[in-house]
Each structure stands twice: as C-alpha cells, then as structure tokens.
Structure 1
C-alpha cells in the first residue's frame, strides 16, 4: 500500500517519517555504503528541510518498506545544488511541471511478491505512485539523480531514464541524471508490468503549499 505525505501532514505521520529515515539508513549507509549524513541509525540531508512530498510503501505487516522523496525543480534540488557536474552542457530544469525525485529506496523481505522482469512488485508500486502524483499535479517529467544500477531497473520496468549527461563516478557509485516521463501511457505500462489494479496512492493528492 502506498501512502502520500505532504508537508501539512508531517505532524500527523511523524512516526512513519521516522521509520522512513531508518529505512534510508539501512539502504544507503549499511547496504550501499554511500557517504550520507547519519545519526542514531537515521539518514537525513538538507533537502529533507525543504518541505518535500514523501511517498511511502507499506508492506502487508504495515511496516515502511519503501520510499521516495519529491521536490519541485523551482526550488533547491540535488541536481542543481549537489550534482551539477552531471548536467554536462545542459541547463538545470526549473519549471513548475518538473519535480525532482530522490532517495528512492526499498528494504523488502525475501518473500516479497515479484512481477515482470524479476523486479519486486513494490518497485512498480512506487513507480506508479510517482506517476500518479505527477499526473494529479500536472507534471510532465520527473528529473532525478540516480545510479546506473537503478537506471537498469527503470529500463526493465519500461519507464526508461532519458539521460541528461553521461554517467560519472560519484563516491562509490556511477551516477547519472535524467528525466522520467509523466503520462497516462507510462502509468499504464507500469501497471501492466507490475500487475497492479487501479490507483496505488491512498492519501489525498495535495500539492504542498508554496
């Protein structure tokens, strides 16, 4: 089950957000060994302070098993402020119809259901949630900084990344920036590949206040 948490709901869902930051610690620090900011088995960074929207995936046990963070490209973003080297000769996107995704993470048990391409069904649910949010808020694209491993997953899911520049080594990973299409066609592909029925978001889709 997917849950949408907008800034006006942070207080109501404080425990879920804390659990999400713990998941991010396990994935980005313990599993991937990225150079991230941590404290007391919690991972946060400066972009969590800019009132992002969070999409959370809850497993059948109601624990937070996945997450992704979304920020408008008109404000501070990781691509603009942390990884501009990945842009090459391109200009940083900064329009109301493009948001940035970051901190996509899943921490699933071995028994988690699988779908097409051998990917976890939860992967497709998070992708579908991102597209549903985008459609509800009149977005045309999502821009993201990710690694080549995640780029392969997106291609398997038939939601391919349109590269902005070439991959470059960043810390212990090969990073790449690119765009993801927000459209009804891309949502239909994700639903079909992930064997999803109907919308996945169950919190009302509310755009964050300016």
Structure 2
C-alpha cells in the first residue's frame, strides 16, 4: 500500500484514481454511514470539491483506491466553519496560515482486516502518516477536522489524539465533534506503520488553493 497525493495541477494525470475516490466516498458516506450527502452515478461530491483541494489517497499494489481524504486551507472556504460551525465552541475557527482542513476521510470497509499499532487498520494508519507528512512538507503544523466520536477514539488509539474545539453535537444520524490535530515529526513517527512509503518524493510542493 502506498500514498498518492493529487494536487489540482495533477487532476488530469489521475482520472481513474479520482473516479475511484468519489465512488468510495459514495459507498462509505451514503451506503455504510447513511449520511445525507449528494451522490450521482459518478460518486459523492460536494461544493468543497470545487475549491481545488489536494486529495490524499491510499492505493494498494493492484492500483485500488482504499482510502482518501481532502485537504484545503483552513482559511477558507472551510467546511468546518461554513457548514459545521455549530461544532465550534466559539462559533469561529480563527484559522491561521499554518492550519489545513482535512475532510471526507474514509476507508474501504470491505478491506480484509490488517491491523497496526493499537489495533487500527493499516490503511487508516497509512492515511494518517500521509496527511501529516504532506502537511509538514507544505508548511502546515495544525490539521483541523470534523468527525464523529467513534473516529475520535480511533485517533487516540493510533497515538494521534485530537484537541476538541467544542462539545459533541448530533448532526443527522451521528454525534459529531470538531478538533485540532498536530502535524509534527513526533505525531508522524507514532502513526507511521511499518513499511510506510514516503510521499515526499512524489510531491512538487503544491499550494493548497481556495476559492478566496
């Protein structure tokens, strides 16, 4: 398994991987979690996909996309502040230039069990390491995200605990929480699974662009 990063200027180079990613998001968010998300024949999309994010994908040796996440500058437009501001204790994110937002994180739940440290799935650990490494390489030291209580526990088991930015709230059929994660060498070393392949060699130091 390896990490692939796809910044906006490389979308055209990876149409198959991006198509797999959107289908995976549909299968997980609509099919498994039953979230109220927009799904078409091509997969799951939302308005934040229009803001030129960088996508982080975990890919198997047979070129199957098994996990993904989306990264955008937290200075906006950011999903947490615009769509889920009720999760923020102050109602505002107060983002800095060194903060990036991770959203639409998901892992293929049909994968055969492959556990790493803390009994966390190998694909999940690989994604955590890829997100941290990419963030550090691009000048970010904080990662903000909204997730649910179950995933908050997974982060803790992986050795990457989240600092809450507000109280848990019911959104749809889940109990959601917002939090801040460090992007630093210590966190990277804790979550990195054995055999992890660095993403740095594939990165041409892209800028995360927003619609601002």
Bin of the TM-score, shorter chain as denominator length: over 0.9
How far apart in 1 are the matches of 2:208 and 2:162?
A: 29
Aligned to 1:77: 78
- Please, what TM-score do these two structures have when normalized by structure 1? 0.93
Distance in structure 1 (CA, Å) of the matches to 2:208 and 2:79: 20
Alignment of 1:23-172 (within 5 A): 23-40=24-41, 42-89=43-90, 91-172=92-173
**Cα deviation, residue 153, structure 1:** 0.5
Alpha-carbon distance in 1 for matches of 2:76, 2:190: 30
Q: 1:18 to 1:38 in 2, by over 3 A?
A: same
What is the CA–CA distance in structure 1 between the aligned matches of 2:8 and 2:40, rounded to whole Å?
23
Are the equivalent residues in 1 in contact too, given 2:81–2:93 (CA < 8 A)?
A: yes
The answer as to whether partners of 2:38 and 2:46 remain within 8 angstroms in 1 is yes
- 2:70 is paired with a residue of what secondary structure? strand
Q: Deviations over 1:81-125 (max 9, x none)?
A: 100111122531322100000000010544342112221111111
| CA gap 1:209/1:99 in 2 versus in 1, 3 angstroms | closer
Q: CA RMSD in A?
A: 1.6
Deviates more, 1:81-90 or 1:108-117: 108-117
Q: What runs of 5+ residues in structure 2 fail to find an aligned partner?
A: none
Is 1:204 aligned with 2:208? no
Give the deviation of 1:22 after TM superposition: 0.2
| Equivalent-residue separation in structure 2 for 1:136 and 1:27 (angstroms) | 29
Q: Extract structure 1 runs of 4+ deviating beyond 3 A.
A: none
Query: Is the alpha carbon distance of 1:2 and 1:201 closer, same or farther for their aligned partners in structure 2, counting shifts above 3 Å?
Result: farther
Distance across 2 between alignment mates of 1:155 and 1:95: 25
Q: What TM-score do you get using the length of structure 2 for normalisation?
A: 0.92
Deviation at residue 138 of structure 1 after TM alignment? 1.5
Q: Alpha carbons of 1:29 and 1:120: their partners in 2 closer, same or farther (altered >3 Å)?
A: same
- Distance in 2 (CA, whole Å) between partners of 1:6 and 1:183 is 21
Gaps of 5+ in 1: none
CA contact (8 A) 1:21 1:43 kept: yes
Aligned to 1:11, what secondary structure does the other structure show? helix
How many aligned positions are there? Answer: 208
